[in-house]
Structure 1
Amino acid sequence: MSHVLDAPPPEAAADWTVSQHWERFTAEEHARWRALYNRQMRLLPGRAAPAFLEGVAKLDLAEGVPDFRRLSDRLGRLTGWEVVAVPGLVPEEVFFRHLAGRRFVAGNFLRDASQMDYLEEPDVFHDVFGHVPLLAHPVFADYMQAYGEGGLRSMGFGSLGKLARLYWYTVEFGLVETAEGLRIYGAGIVSSAAESRFALESASPNRLGFDLERVMRTRYRIDAFQQTYFVIPSFEALLQITLETDFAPLYARLAALPDLAITDILPSDRVFTRGTQAEAAPPRE
């Protein structure tokens, strides 16, 4: 069972970062990264957002577990972000402070061969392949910084659970509308072979237009593929609503409203695809 550590381990700095020790990754681990990378890159053209695929190409992620120093050099020249290693899941305030400082925290281990399809705690493949390519996109990079800054402001409102839903339904499991149709961009989808197909092609989930308050009312589950995906019109629109919303009164409204089930569809929802019961969301392996 994954869990957040209570305090940084001895090898970590005060900000919870650790040395990546890239040289310690073995030839077998680099080969496993390449297998994961190649599998996803066979699936993602025509499914992933163009900005994600452009980021993959710019960051040169094909050859093995990336050296964070070199990766941060390339990413820094593009958008001013860097990637830092952490020993595991970190407290919310630590996470938010890193995002607000344009630092993305990444796990410092790679899944083993028995976990190629799913693992509960995010590893370096999920964190780097799944998240980092979009940090090469200036608008999405700004959104991630804004989310971190908003997270720090939210800590006094007792609403971290509601704010986590925004991250879940955008950064981890978001879809975006394009001229060619819906495309995936959330890291939890683009790093998963099975969910890369399920998110766009299954008849099971609802696919609904993004609405900030609606998203923050909607529960989610981590033990199965999503039963609802939210579709943003563009990264620019996502950033704009994040920057222009006063979250303090939003948190107050949310506190007075009931949560929504993950299968609910409201009369006000923009429905791209209404899910069916014929194919239930499969459990994560």
Structure 2
Amino acid sequence: MTSQQAVIDQLPAHLQPFVAVQDYANYTPRDHAIWRFLLHQLRFSLRHSAHPTYFEGLTKTGIGTEAIPRIEEINSCLTKLGWQAVAVDGFLPPAVFMEFQARKILAIALNIRSFEHMLYTPAPDIIHESAGHAPFLVDIDYAEFLQRFGELGMQAIANQHDMNIYEAVRQLSIVKEDGSSAAQDIDAAQSAVEALQDMHVAPSEANLLARLHWWTVEYGLVGSINNYTIYGAGLLSSLSESQSCMDDRKVTKLPLTLNALKTAYDITAPQPQLFVTESCRHLSQVLEEYGRHMCCQRGGASALEEALEAATVTTSELNSGLQIAGKISRVVTDPVGNAVYLNTQGPTQLAYQHTELPGHGIEYHELGFGSPIGRLRAMERCLSNYTVDELKRHHIEIDTDVTLNFLSGICVSGRLVAILRRNQRNLLFTFEQCTVSDIDGEVLFDPEWGVYDMAVGDAVISVAGGSADQSAYPMYDAPSTQVSAASRVDGQTQAQFTWYSKLRKCRESGSVDSTLIQEITAQESLDWLIKFEAFELSNDKALRNQLEEISTHAGDDVAVLINGGLKRLSEPS
């Protein structure tokens, strides 16, 4: 069995801070009881509505019903399917989550939902991530779809609004799951999310892709409009919504098309409509159709302008292979719409094949970067494709004064001091005493500004979100130490854990301790879940009466849980 640390050590440096180590001893006896109750209940409630692959997948991915699974056990099972598992703390930045997925790694939240939010929690938890996402990885077509989603997702361009919403939703999940949060803190966090959601901001690529992920991977149905089953992890891990979503009078069913991109979602509320895919192949077709129009595949001036509007770090790749990572601050186009010059503002990285070029990190290019794009006059090929000898024949050689006249009218003139090449291609020309001006005489670079590094390439073939080499130019700070489910328990609650432990011992031994059952029946202050487990063992009529009484006076969520549990026990297995 591969250790958690061994899996972590295989990850690139920029992902390692987001991985946590599962300390199994931190789970309380009540945590295991919550897992057991919900897994048994989900198996029961989904027996007719989940796609059959779900139940096959639970077994093959190490997801048992009796206790919270160990991440190492899940990883051992997923390894046989070509995937791995790591533990994480709650919400991840979307691009980080997608990169794990692209690397065929299932990121599983450490925490389990609180006793108070057993029916539904907006925070990622081990029930959702393991029992929801893992099972369908046994389907090769679905697993390939999921990996491809990750590949596109990690390249999607996000804007600052996306990150603001991510932080607000994460904070809301923290205060909701923390049993000590004051009502005003929860209201404030909820209001912050709603205020951001109400802002009229054009959705970014990342936001549109997140919608597609939500309506497929998280809340998807498969089949036909009139005959469907559940495959979305969000539905599979929710006792309430997995049942309510089957009612066509309450939840509209729509065929899955790219129209799903137009439909926003609310992570904190039940969904009013769901989309039905015909098959895994259909899923992949819809994903690729959107992917064809993404900036990472489209390239060109329109992609640069989208990055400019997003005002976040993106990586622009030229046809030479040079990658320019930074915040686009200016895009100059010619009369037919070709990008002929670009500028970045602030820290910028130059890279090749996602590895930072020596000496061209964010410290060196801390104020930004600018370069012409396009072909030169009297040169038939892209400047990147010329050998050193061919360049000399065009009077371009190191330690000489060189003038480069672009078809756009931009002129670069100065002393060429270095040519950076990779794989028989020119990537970067470095000039001293250099002047760069456009066709109208505007100075784009002045000799007094220092050394001028000119990117070599005549077209932008891709613009993707984030930096090119995140080990050298990280996009995200290390995760907060404030976890998503940091529920605190008081002494009275702690005292109840003993009862859960005693009941587990009875269940594992296969015997019923009548004295223990009587003690539980006599104590009115115990968790309803303790009484339910005691009733499950004993079928004691007094305990059933107590549970029915509790369900009539408790909130709706507790009533759904108790009544659903009693129904499961009363029906033949």
Shared fold by TM > 0.5?
A: yes
Within the candidate set 210, 213, 218, 2:263 is matched to: 218
Larger radius of gyration: 2
Structure 1 residue aligned with 2:208: 162
Shift of 1:246: 0.6
1:183 aligns with 2:229: yes
Distance, in Å, in 1 between the alignment partners of 2:124 and 2:246 is 22
Distance, in Å, in 2 between the alignment partners of 1:197 and 1:242 is 27
Contact residue 184 and residue 200 of structure 1 kept, 8 A: no
* CA distance 1:46–1:57, shift in 2 (3 Å): same
Shift of 1:17: 0.3
1:71 aligns with 2:74: yes
Structure 1 residue aligned with 2:21: 19
- Aligned to 2:112, the other structure's residue is in SS state coil
Distance, in Å, in 1 between the alignment partners of 2:293 and 2:51 is 28
Distance, in Å, in 1 between the alignment partners of 2:53 and 2:228 is 13
Structure 1 residue aligned with 2:59: 57
* CA distance 1:179–1:166, shift in 2 (3 Å): closer
Contact residue 143 and residue 239 of structure 1 kept, 8 A: yes
1:230 aligns with 2:275: yes
Distance, in Å, in 1 between the alignment partners of 2:224 and 2:557 is 28
- Aligned to 2:108, the other structure's residue is in SS state strand
Within the candidate set 232, 241, 250, 1:204 is matched to: 250
Distance, in Å, in 1 between the alignment partners of 2:32 and 2:72 is 17
Contact residue 205 and residue 294 of structure 2 kept, 8 A: no
- Matched to 2:80, the amino acid is R
- Aligned to 1:200, the other structure's residue is in SS state coil
What fraction of aligned residue pairs are identical, expressed as a percent?
Answer: 31
Shift of 1:15: 4.3
Structure 2 residue aligned with 1:109: 111
- Matched to 2:47, the amino acid is P
Contact residue 15 and residue 94 of structure 1 kept, 8 A: no
- TM-score of the superposition, structure 2-length normalised? 0.40
* CA distance 1:198–1:126, shift in 2 (3 Å): same
Distance, in Å, in 2 between the alignment partners of 1:92 and 1:134 is 21
Contact residue 223 and residue 284 of structure 1 kept, 8 A: no
Shift of 1:22: 2.3
What does residue range 1-285 of structure 1 map to in structure 2 within 5 Å?
14-61=16-63, 62-78=65-81, 80-155=82-157, 158-177=204-223, 181-212=227-258, 214-243=259-288, 245-248=291-294
Distance, in Å, in 1 between the alignment partners of 2:206 and 2:31 is 35
Contact residue 62 and residue 73 of structure 2 kept, 8 A: no
1:66-119, Cα deviation, whole Å (9 max, x unpaired): 1111111111102x1122111221112211211110111121111121111111
Distance, in Å, in 2 between the alignment partners of 1:123 and 1:90 is 12
Higher RCO, 1 or 2 (CA under 8 Å, sep at least 6)? 1
Contact residue 18 and residue 85 of structure 1 kept, 8 A: yes
Greater strand fraction, Structure 1 or Structure 2: 2
Distance, in Å, in 2 between the alignment partners of 1:60 and 1:100 is 22
Contact residue 224 and residue 284 of structure 1 kept, 8 A: no
Contact residue 18 and residue 86 of structure 1 kept, 8 A: yes
- Matched to 1:127, the amino acid is E
Please list every run of 5 or more consecutive structure 1 residues that lacks an aligned counterpart in the other structure: 1-11, 256-282
Distance, in Å, in 1 between the alignment partners of 2:284 and 2:268 is 29
Contact residue 224 and residue 276 of structure 2 kept, 8 A: no
- Matched to 1:246, the amino acid is R
- Matched to 2:271, the amino acid is Q
Distance, in Å, in 2 between the alignment partners of 1:163 and 1:93 is 11
Distance, in Å, in 2 between the alignment partners of 1:145 and 1:115 is 31
- Aligned to 2:294, the other structure's residue is in SS state helix
* CA distance 1:204–1:183, shift in 2 (3 Å): same
- Matched to 2:270, the amino acid is F
1:204-261, Cα deviation, whole Å (9 max, x unpaired): 221010002x011111222321111000001122124424651327998xx9xxxxxx
Distance, in Å, in 1 between the alignment partners of 2:101 and 2:129 is 13
- Aligned to 2:18, the other structure's residue is in SS state coil
* CA distance 1:284–1:140, shift in 2 (3 Å): farther
- Aligned to 2:16, the other structure's residue is in SS state coil
CA RMSD across the alignment: 2.8
How many pairs does the alignment contain?
244
* CA distance 1:20–1:156, shift in 2 (3 Å): same
* CA distance 1:68–1:217, shift in 2 (3 Å): same
